[in-house]
Amino acid sequence: MPVYIATQAFLDGVDSVPFIWPILKTLPWLGVLYLAKIFFSGASNTFERNMHGKVVMVTGGTSGIGEAVVRGLATRGAQIVLLTQHVLGDPFIVEYIEDIRKDTDNQLITAEQVDLTSLHSIRTFATKWIDNAPPRRLDMVVLCANTQTPGSGAIKTTAEGVELNWQVNYLANFHLLSILSPALRAQPPDRDVRVLFGTCSSYMGGDLLHITQPSAPTQSKFKAKSTPSAQQIQEPTKISPANAYATSKLALTTFALAFTKHLSTYKRPDGSPSNTKVLLVDPGFCRTPGTRRWLTWGSLTGLVLYLLLYPIWYLVLKSPDMGSQSFLFAAMAEKFRGVGKEYGRDAKGAVLIKECKERRFERLETVEDEAAQKALWEFSERMVQDAEKRGAMERARVKREEQEAREEGVAVREMEDYKAKVGKSEGVKKEGSRRSKKAG
């Protein structure tokens, strides 16, 4: 058809083609929208890697960017271990795994129930994972789990008393990797091991002052040289949903750099350097359930506005598949294989990746400060210990109440059985019985 239209325009003139001028005026705008969509979609991963036989542990792999990452790695043959809060018999997780296996032609997709809002659940899984001889194979850990309290929402806490953003975005990852670090260290020296942290640029607005520097009253008791003077002390930012999210991402970034040093300081029995590479991945803004919840502020009115403005969001926000490209780049690029001088890379440094390129870290005064890293690590260990104690007390209370309820139920049933037997032995007609109805 285009050939006939062009022929008609050439022989009979442009005006002979119906609606030609509106079409010609519209085409440039469509071209602009197409180029804008390509620009906002970001860069694509151009590296490929044979993932057959690789064991990859993934959090947040059932929706959004995490799901796209799982599909990308599974398509390339990786064995995926999904950490999900769903019960393994839940129809959703069963059907989800079946769909992934069918779509990727990969049967090596399994799941483990791990609730990232529960430190006890994380410890139960991680200790079971490392309690194995010889150590289980683990080639990669991909941490995609993420949550964000809408700006209009109130601060939420877990059953163990930890703020929700801090727990899911940071403390759960700290707790999981702290326990799994022996499994990472035990991998053979020739194995390419990588840990991928999902982060975002909001970490630049975070605040760790309540951790990294003491308050003024405490300051007077400690006069260490590294402690800032009273004039240098800043008041920590007031906690809010937006600040809680940014702070959790800043803590995650700081921990990632500290975790790299933690792994590299371990002296392997074979004398080989650490073979675990830590990479932080910023996927950018994507059309994920979390982003939608943030844009709508968790309200029905916000959801209506989101739907009305969806053409704009479709244009400027990446799809989950495009958001996963930086993760796939971090997982597959040969340049990130191994650490140490033989690979031309610093064994003590993590890498930040955005748009499939290495980027420099911001907030260097915090994320690369060894004193801040140490303070955050020690603070996190104390928080985990305290939260697990509170969780143990809460579980004991619930168990005690359930036991009391069961005992009370048994007592009630025994009393009812006793009354029925006594009434029958004394010849008392039970209300509603056949004889009582006949007598009435």
The CA distance from 188 to 135, in Å, is 10
Exposed, middle or buried: residue 110 (CB in 10 Å: 0-12, 13-18, 19+)?
Answer: exposed
Catalytic annotation on 249?
Answer: yes
CA distances from 19 to 2, 5, 22, 81, 240 (A): 14, 12, 6, 57, 56
The CA distance from 107 to 78, in Å, is 10
**Active-site residue, from 221, 225, 249, 374:** 249
The CA distance from 47 to 50, in Å, is 10
Greatest Cα pair distance, the chain, in angstroms, is 114
The CA distance from 44 to 323, in Å, is 9
Q: Transcribe 52-110 into DSSP letters.
A: TT-EEEEESTTSHHHHHHHHHHHHTTPEEEEEESS-TT-HHHHHHHHHHHHHHT---EE
The CA distance from 347 to 341, in Å, is 8
Residue positions annotated with a catalytic role: 249
